[in-house]
Amino acid sequence: MSSKPTKRIALVDAGRKPEIIEAVLPFIEDRYNLIRTDERDADYVFHSCLGYDVLKYSGIRIFVTGENVSPNFNISDYALAFDKMEFGDRYHWLPLIRLYCDAYATLCNPRPAVEDIVSAKEGFCAYVMSNLSDSASERTHIFDLLSAYKPVASGGKWRNNVGGPVVDKMAFQSKYKFVIAFENSSTPGYLTEKFAQAAQSNAIPIYWGDPEISRVINPKAFINCHDFPSLEAAVEYVKAVDADDTLYRQMLAEPWFPNGREPDALKGETIERFLDNIFDQPHASAYRRNRSRWGIKSEKRLFDMAFRPHVHTTGLARQKWRNLTRKKKA
C-alpha cells in the first residue's frame, strides 16, 4: 500500500488532450498519489486557458499554460506561465521550453563534437511552421529575406517546398546549418519549444520572440534577431556566419546555457519546491484567491458571462438603468 499522500486532482479547460498540464504532473508524481477525478470538490484543480469550467470547482486552482496568456489571480490560487514577474508563493515562471523533456535535455547536456555536427549538414536553413493563421508577420518576413539569399527548406504545412509536411521534424532539421525558431509573438518570458528543438537538431537557431532570451540562453550559441536593429540586419549576420566556417564552428562549440549552467528557475528541484509548497500545506491554508465578498462577486460575474449570458446581460441592463435614473434625479 502506498505511503504517499493522496491528492484528488481535476484537469480542466485544457482541451481534449491536456498535454501541457500532463507535462507538469511528473514533477510531483513521485511524492504524491494523484487520483484523477471529475468531481466538483476535487482538492486541486489544474486548469488552462481554454474555458471557464474551473469556476465550477471549489478546490485549490493551479493555472498552467502553453500559450502566451497571463494568469487571472482572481480565479487561480497559483500559476505557472510565461510572464516574468514575482507574486509571492503564487507564481513561478515556467516557459514551454522546459516541458519538452528530450529537447530540453539537449540544452543541459554537453554538445556533440563540432566535426560530427558539420559532417551531418547538407543544406543552408530549415523551417517547420504549420500555423497558417494568427501568426506574427515577422515569421513570413524572415523566411522571405533568407530565401532571397539561399533556398530555405520549408517542411511544415506553411509554404511547404519539400514534397509535403515532414514526419520527423528533428531528422529533417538536423540536415541544415541553421533553423528558423520564431515564436508566434514577442513577449518577455515567452520562450517555447521552438528554440529547444532547433538546438536538438544541432543547428544554429535564428531566433525571434522573447527579447530577454539571452538572460537564459548563451548569446554566443545562436543568432538572436533582437540584437539587431532590423530583420534585414540580422539576415546580414546570418550570411556572414554562413560564409565564415571558423565563426560557424565557434558557435557550434558554445554551450547552450551561459557558462554551461542550467538556470535555477528551470531546474527540476526548483519547480518541485514550488509545487510541494502547494501540496504540503494543510488544504485549507493553501487557498490564495480572494474568497471573501468581492472575490465572490467578481467570480460570479465571470461565471454568468461564461455559463449564464442571459443573466449577465440582464444585470448589465439593470445597472445601466440605475445609472440613468441617478443622473435624472441629479
Q: In what order do the strands lie in the sheet with 204-208?
A: 152-154, 123-127, 176-182, 204-208, 223-224
Domain at 6-96+267-289, CATH homologous superfamily? Glycosyl transferase family 10, N-terminal domain (3.40.50.11650)
Q: Do domains 6-96+267-289 and 111-254 have the same CATH topology?
A: yes
pLDDT, mean of residues 275-296: 96
Q: Which residue has the cell 471557464?
A: 52
- Quick one: pLDDT at residue 180? 98
Q: Which residues are bridge partners to 81 per DSSP?
A: 93
Bin 209: left if φ > 0, else alpha if -120 < ψ < 50, else beta.
left
What is the Cα–Cα distance from 223 to 192, expressed in whole angstroms?
Answer: 16
The full set of domain ranges for the chain reads: 6-96+267-289, 111-254, 291-330
User: CA dist 162 to 22, 148, 182, 187, 235, Å?
Assistant: 33, 17, 20, 31, 23
- Quick one: pLDDT at residue 193? 95
Q: Which three cell numbers stand for residue 216?
A: 537564459
Q: Which three cell numbers stand for residue 199?
A: 538546438
Q: How confident is the model at residue 316 (pLDDT cuts 50, 70, 90)?
A: low
Higher pLDDT, 3 or 274: 274
8 Å CB contact between 33 and 61: no
Q: Which three cell numbers stand for residue 203?
A: 543547428
Q: Which residue has the cell 486541486?
A: 44
- Quick one: pLDDT at residue 330? 62
Per-residue pLDDT of 193-245, as tens digits, reads 999 999 999 999 999 999 999 999 999 999 999 999 999 999 999 999 999 99
Q: Looking at the structure, give the CATH architecture of the domain made up of residues 111-254.
A: 3-Layer(aba) Sandwich (3.40)
pLDDT, mean of residues 166-189: 97
* Of 156, 154, 25, residue with least CA distance to 94: 25
How many alpha carbons fall within 13 Å on the CB side of residue 168? 7
Amino acid at 111: R
Of the chain, the percentage scoring pLDDT greater than 90 comes to 88
Q: How confident is the model at residue 312 (pLDDT cuts 50, 70, 90)?
A: low
8 Å CB contact between 290 and 302: no
pLDDT, mean of residues 137-151: 97
Taking 90 as the threshold, does the pLDDT of residue 81 lie above it?
A: yes
Contacts 24+ apart (CB under 8 A), 153-160: 153/123, 153/124, 153/125, 153/126, 153/127, 154/126, 154/127, 154/128, 154/129, 155/126, 155/127, 155/128, 156/127, 156/128, 156/129, 156/130, 157/129, 157/130, 157/132, 158/129, 158/130, 158/131, 158/132
Angle at 50 between CA 45 and CA 53, to 5 degrees: 45
Per-residue pLDDT of 100-136, as tens digits, reads 999 999 999 999 999 999 999 999 999 999 877 777 8
pLDDT, mean of residues 79-107: 97
The pTM for the full model equals 0.92
- Quick one: pLDDT at residue 309? 81
Q: Which residue has the cell 441617478?
A: 326
8 Å CB contact between 240 and 250: no
- Quick one: pLDDT at residue 278? 98
Give the mean pLDDT of the chain: 94
Per-residue pLDDT of 243-263, as tens digits, reads 999 999 999 999 999 999 999
